[in-house]
Homo-oligomer: A and B are copies of this chain.
Amino acid sequence: MVTIADVARHAGVATSTVSYVLSGKRTISPDTRDRVQRSVRALGYRPNASARALASQRSNVLALVIPLRTGMHVPVMMQFATAVVTTARRFDHDVLLLTADEGPEGLRRVAQSSLVDAFVVMDVELNDERVPVLRDLPLPSVLIGYPAEAAGLTCIDLDFVAAGALCVDHLADLGHDSLALLGTPSAVYERQTGFAQRTLTGFTEAAARRGVLGVETPCEHTFDAVLQTVQQLLHDHPGITGLVVQNEPIIGPLLDVLRRLGRRVPEDMSVLAISADDVAERQVPQLSSVTIPAEEIGEQAVLSLIAKLEGSPVPELTLVPPTLTPRASSTAHNPQPTNHPKPVRGD
């Protein structure tokens, strides 16, 4: 292993000079800098991470805490994790992977052993045990999702309220006046992950604001559950022509069920998914969807964390606005079947 002393000797300078050339923390004459950099390359020098961390009190490692067993959809998590790693690397940091099953104790462990400098915690629940721990630890953290008591913490999330409202507005704009939200299994609501409820809030408020019917029902992941839920829904509210799904696994089954019930998409029923793009695009017909911008959230999380590590202030709550991509599954309600060109409205 080649050490900083080897480089210093090779370049004919002190080790501190090598260190300063590498860190840029003090001005070095161009000549010296060159010589050192040449030596670094010549010897293939790489600073020892442990030694550096020990001396500088900074490991340059971020902890990423991912949920272990969860109803959340996996591809999004993966995108997110990837974005975190990629962004961390841009700032010369690495990422330590922790699973949620270590719980609060796991956070303490890696923090107190100085393994990591900061935390990105995914899938934070409304009353999350880890929140008080994070507040206590002297390390900065960013939460994805947000807990009941978020004061003093940095949280980033999709603006699910806006997502719910966006769906209603899209469908209402298309002329639909009876909408339903097919949500996550009731267990997810009970787990109080927050996001499910916030979507519902946005959905309900927007429905009221637009003066349209907006009913909601949770739905389990089995085909039978979907069938039953939809039948019940259409029985109770036969006028429904717009469906919003926030429950990735049931998207396929839902389309099956509608087919089986003789409801064509989008002619008889407009369908809107809150889901990853690839899932929406894979369906027949392709689904209009509101995307969870996992990459953006992951990147933003790391940016915030780096800022905090540098002592810069960051907002307590960052809500990432949702985007709606219209595809084949949503269309105007009661369209006039006509071949005539639309009359141009004068002004």
Contacts and interface: CB of A to CB of B under 8 A. Distances in A.
Contact of A85 (B1, B82, B97): B97
Given A86-B101, A256-B284, A282-B253, A94 B115 contact: yes
Interface stretch (A44-52, A176-184, A230-238, A333-341): A44-52
Contacts of A89: 102
Nearest to A115: B49
B96 A95 contact: yes
Contact of A82 (B68, B114, B221): B68
Contacts of A94: 96-98, 110, 115
Contacts of A50: 49-51, 53-54, 59, 114
B78 A74 contact: yes
How often does this chain occur in the complex, in copies? 2
Given A50-B114, A109-B46, A284-B253, A97 B99 contact: no
A64 interface: yes
Interface in A85-134: 85-86, 89, 94-99, 101-102, 109-110, 112-115
A323 to B, nearest CB: 21
Interface residues of A, number: 47
Interface in A240-283: 249, 252-253, 256, 282
Nearest to A89: B102
Interface in A293-345: none
A211 interface: no
Interface string A47-82: 111110110000101001010100000110110011
Given A81-B97, A96-B95, A97-B85, A112 B46 contact: yes
Interface string A25-57: 000000000000000000010111111011000
A47 to B, nearest CB: 6
A15 B261 CA distance: 74
Contacts of A78: 74, 77-78
Contacts of A75: 74-75
B252 A114 contact: no
Contact of A282 (B48, B85, B252): B252
Contacts of A115: 49, 94
A21 to B, nearest CB: 17
Contacts of A282: 221-223, 249, 252-253
Nearest to A81: B97
B49 A113 contact: yes
Interface of A: 1, 44, 46-51, 53-54, 59, 61, 64, 66, 68, 74-75, 77-78, 81-82, 85-86, 89, 94-99, 101-102, 109-110, 112-115, 221-223, 249, 252-253, 256, 282, 284
Given A48-B114, A252-B282, 8 more contacts: A1-B112, A44-B112, A68-B86, A77-B78, A85-B99, A94-B110, A96-B97, A221-B282
